[in-house]
């Protein structure tokens, strides 16, 4: 293993063990170089890579600190998978679960006829006991009639669909814009009113190209990064 990766592994191990928490200071480049008996350039490279990954924050004149945990939207994953991948304990609070039949725009996005009965699920998604997002999901009530509120309180919607309905999810079409938190959303996400949010409208498709889930998500901008690769 390269020397800089050993430094990164040591820092990540302390973060995952809870020895270092968001906001805590990390040793300086000079201190890390001395501890690990490497060059200053190697220590600088290790911290630079961790900064690019969003693990640490480097403040000129102040030092290097553990960054608040963030979710990176660069792969279609369930929220549970995202949190687990960041070594955070996932949880969800189901605010509402019921049948609606007057959502023509949502029905259209799911390639269903107007008036189709839909299950509407509103949840606060949490990581390490901190709210990350407010999500409202829709699926066909007829197709997923056995879906229950207790099941969603215990686990992932993705996992339920794959395990109980034999549906493999493959890709998503997304519309992304910025908005601000109204009073209710601010209270649920524990942020100030009018705080910036990332809003994502998402249609999630199966491997057969069929739209399965529509999600309207409001994500705390201080906890999420949207990574985009552009080609010319």
Of 10-19, 26-35, 68-77, 113-122, where does mean pLDDT reach its minimum? Answer: 68-77
Name the pLDDT band for 212 (thresholds 50, 70, 90). very high
Higher local confidence (pLDDT), 80 or 122:
122
Residue 174 near residue 117 (C-beta atoms within 8 A): no
Predicted local distance difference test score (pLDDT) of residue 21:
83
Predicted local distance difference test score (pLDDT) of residue 1:
77
Say whether pLDDT at 128 is over 70: yes
Percentage of residues in the chain with pLDDT exceeding 90? 52
Residue given tokens 């529509």 in the structure block:
214
Say whether pLDDT at 206 is over 80: yes
Predicted local distance difference test score (pLDDT) of residue 182:
96
Name the pLDDT band for 143 (thresholds 50, 70, 90). very high
Predicted local distance difference test score (pLDDT) of residue 15:
83
Of 55-69, 125-139, 177-191, 204-218, where does mean pLDDT reach its minimum? Answer: 55-69
Higher local confidence (pLDDT), 7 or 88:
7
Q: Whose CA is closest to 212, among 153, 162, 178, 154? A: 162
Q: Dihedral sign for Cα 221, 223, 77, 226, please.
A: positive
Predicted local distance difference test score (pLDDT) of residue 72:
56
Most confident segment among 12-26, 76-90, 121-135: 121-135
pLDDT tens digits for range 56-94: 888 888 889 988 766 555 567 667 776 676 666 778 899
Residue 186 near residue 213 (C-beta atoms within 8 A): no
Say whether pLDDT at 207 is over 70: yes
Say whether pLDDT at 26 is over 80: yes
Residue 137 near residue 118 (C-beta atoms within 8 A): no
Q: What is the pTM of this model?
A: 0.67
Task: Give the list of residues 6+ apart from residue 43 with CB closer than 8 angstroms, or none.
Answer: 4, 7, 29, 30, 32, 33, 36
Q: Whose CA is closest to 164, among 153, 181, 152? A: 152
Across the chain, mean pLDDT equals 87
Backbone φ and ψ of 2, nearest 5°: -60, 150
Spell out the domains of the chain, with CATH numbers in brackets: 3-66 (1.10.10.10), 71-225 (3.40.1410.10)
Predicted local distance difference test score (pLDDT) of residue 195:
94
Predicted local distance difference test score (pLDDT) of residue 159:
87
């Amino acid at each position: 293993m390269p020397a800089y990766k050993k430094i990164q592994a040591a820092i990540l191990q302390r973060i995952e063990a809870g020895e270092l928490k968001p906001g805590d200071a990390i040793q300086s480049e000079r201190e890390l170089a001395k501890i690990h008996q490497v060059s200053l350039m190697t220590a600088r490279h290790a911290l630079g890579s961790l900064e690019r990954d969003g693990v640490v924050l480097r403040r000129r004149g102040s030092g290097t600190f553990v960054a608040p945990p963030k979710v990176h939207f660069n792969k279609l994953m369930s929220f549970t998978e995202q949190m687990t991948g960041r070594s955070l304990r996932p949880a969800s609070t189901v605010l509402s679960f019921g049948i609606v039949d007057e959502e023509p725009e949502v029905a259209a996005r799911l390639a269903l006829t107007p008036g189709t009965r839909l299950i509407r699920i509103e949840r606060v998604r949490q990581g390490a006991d901190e709210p990350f997002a407010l999500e409202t999901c829709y699926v066909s009530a007829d197709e997923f009639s056995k879906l229950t509120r207790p099941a969603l309180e215990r686990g992932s919607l993705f996992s339920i669909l794959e395990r109980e309905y034999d549906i493999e999810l493959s890709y998503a079409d997304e519309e992304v814009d910025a908005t601000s938190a109204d009073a209710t959303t601010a209270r649920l996400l524990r942020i100030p009113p009018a705080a910036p949010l990332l809003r994502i409208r998402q249609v999630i498709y199966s491997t057969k190209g069929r739209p399965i889930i529509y999600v309207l998500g409001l994500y705390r901008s201080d906890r999420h990064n949207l990574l985009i690769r552009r080609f010319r």
